[in-house]
Structure 1
Amino acid sequence: MPYVRHWLRNSVLLFAVAIALGLVAAHTQLIQPHDLDLDRTIQTGTRTGWLNDVMLGVSYLASPVAGVVILAVWTGWLLFVRRTPTRAVATFLVVAVGWNSTQIAKAIVARNRPPRQFSLDPEIGSNSFPSGHTAFTVAVAVAAYFLFRDSRHRTKVAVCGVLAVCLVAFSRMYIGAHYPTDTLGSVLVAGSAILFLTGIWHAWLLPRLHRVPLLDRFGLEREQAALEAARGGHTEPGANGTYGAHGAHSPYGQQGGRRRAAGPQGGRHRRHAGR
């Protein structure tokens, strides 16, 4: 996980912008009519029988139930199969924090859903802003990019992540569950939460992972030794080109290894990792 300069200030500002956007969209007429017009344009101009099924399927793949399954399988694979507990914990936190941060914004903004008569899958309540489905996809895309950001696949992962976010956001507008600003707000809210997490990770969480006895059973000490080797230039790339238990391309590795070596303050001097 990269260390980002000014993470606290930037995360608070980004969240404030998201909330301001949501309040204006929900409680004034500056955005609401345009949001509704764009929703109706998408629905009347693109809806067909087969595409309805596709968009509903895409939406279900990012639903709360599917999201929990995806997160459990992904982090379980990193922990039990790859034996990389640092990556497993970091991935779980990025997705969980980025996804669930929307609940705070939903409670503050309290925006009603689009009119139900235009929805293929009606949802009720004052919880339209931001879109939880879109926020989940944003968090998954960011977590995947963090895993591959030091590998040759980082550009492909970034492009696929952006396309996935756009597809899910479009599906939520297509089926009539959200307004366009709801999906934009998801990117801002999830982004602010993940940005905040990067600071907490380096300042408090990463230096304390060794205090969790369970992680030692899954190779935490070996993983940290590999990180130290990577930091010292003695590397052994994994077979798939990314960091494994003995690899050189750790998305959290250099930060993690240096943190352990340099002590509690070491992470603050590795600011280049976030660039």
Structure 2
Amino acid sequence: MFSRLRTAASSSPAALLRLLLGILLPLLIVGFIGEDVLEHPRFTFESPLLLALHAHSTPLIDQLSLLLATVGGVAVIAPLSALIALGLWFYRRQAALFFVAAVLGAALLNGLMKLAFHRPRPALWPRLVTEGGASFPSGHSMYSAAFVVALILLVWRTRWRWPALVLGLAFTLAVGGSRLVLGVHYPTDVLAGWLTGTAWVLGSYNLLRPFSALKGGREPQAVSPNLP
């Protein structure tokens, strides 16, 4: 697997940048956070930050956060991802397989990480939602990041890449922020979710190469000359 990552990364400067900044650096940061989580200390800034957010929250912000909790969760992202994967299957099966591996793989990885770290959720005020399971990393943040990054990679060759990038980034940030407003995650849970989801999708992209040609391994120039 690592040899395939090195081969993919050596094929273009963009692929090398994905490997270094999109995969290795995020995983190093998550590893640093995860080490402290396993040792059970609390980052000193987290509780004061959550309390400050709660103090400045409004009923409108609370309602938007509850909406994002639904839209950014498995109940919406899973069926939407299934529809997208089905549509991709009739267009380019390799892209469909990449999308499934990216989104479903991120969900499975999140479940494994929650079992491994088993971090309790914050309990700083009476919450508007009841969430089960462990806190680290944030599932909503990880699902939304994986979903958005996978879509951005799929449309990067088209004129939709910048709208997808801007709207997708805004959506992912909003979903992660809503988890803090609702008090169901620590900031490092959300950060780890974003970074792990992004690294997983970029790693899947480098390994599966969803837009490589069937013969010769070259990108189809007719489809796009601007592969990220």
Q: TM-score range by the shorter chain?
A: 0.7 to 0.9
Between 5-14 and 142-151, report the one with greater CA deviation: 5-14
Distance 1:8 1:142 in 2: 14
Residues 61-111 of structure 1: CA deviation (Å, up to 9, x unaligned): 12222222111122123335xx33232222222222233322232233221
Check 1:7–1:55 CA distance in 2 against 1; reply closer, same or farther (3 A cut).
closer
> Percent of pairs identical after alignment?
21
RMSD, aligned CA: 2.8
Give the secondary structure class of the aligned counterpart of 2:16. coil
The Cα offsets for residues 17-74 of structure 1, whole Å up to 9 and x where unpaired, read as 303213325645461x3111111111121132x3322211111112222222111122
2: CA distance between counterparts of 1:149 and 1:273? 8
The structure whose Rg is larger is 1
Q: Which runs of 4+ in 1 moved over 4 A?
A: 6-10, 272-275
Deviation string, structure 1 residues 233-268 (Cα, Å, up to 9, x no partner): xxxxxxxxxxxxxxxxxxx43xx21xx3226xx79x
Please give the alpha-carbon distance, in whole angstroms, between the structure 1 residues aligned to 2:183 and 2:142.
Answer: 17
Secondary structure of 1:138 counterpart: helix
Aligned length: 210
Equivalent residues in 2 for 1:43-62 (5 A)? 43-48=54-59, 50-62=60-72
1:137 aligns with 2:144: yes
Please list the CA deviations of residues 149-188 of structure 1 after superposition, one character each: whole Å capped at 9, or x if unmatched. 1112211111111100110001111111111111110122
CA distance in 2, matches of 1:6, 1:201: 17
Correspondence for 1:262 among 207, 213, 216: 216
* TM-superposed deviation, 1:134: 0.8
Question: What's 2:115 paired with?
Answer: 107
- 1:143 and 1:152, CA in 2 relative to 1: closer, same or farther beyond 3 A? same
Checking the alignment, whether the CA contact within 8 Å between 1:23 and 1:109 is kept in structure 2 is: no
Given that residues 50 and 183 in structure 2 are in contact (C-alpha distance below 8 angstroms), is that contact kept between their aligned partners in structure 1? yes
Residue number in structure 1 paired with 2:33: 21
| Contact map agreement 2:85 2:100 (CA 8 A) in 1 | yes
Aligned-partner residue type, residue 98 of structure 1:
A
Paired residues of 1:22 and 1:181 also in contact (CA < 8 A): no
Counterpart in the other structure of 2:83:
73
TM-score, normalized by length of structure 2?
A: 0.79
Gaps of 5+ in 2: 1-7, 10-14, 220-224
Amino acid at match of 1:154: R
TM-score normalised by structure 1 residue count: 0.66
Distance 1:9 1:51, change over 3 A: closer
Matched, 1:39 2:50: yes
Q: Per-residue deviation at 1:8?
A: 7.3
Structure 1: tracts of 5 or more residues without a match: 203-251
* Aligned residue runs from structure 1 range 111-122, under 5 A: 111-115=119-123, 117-122=125-130
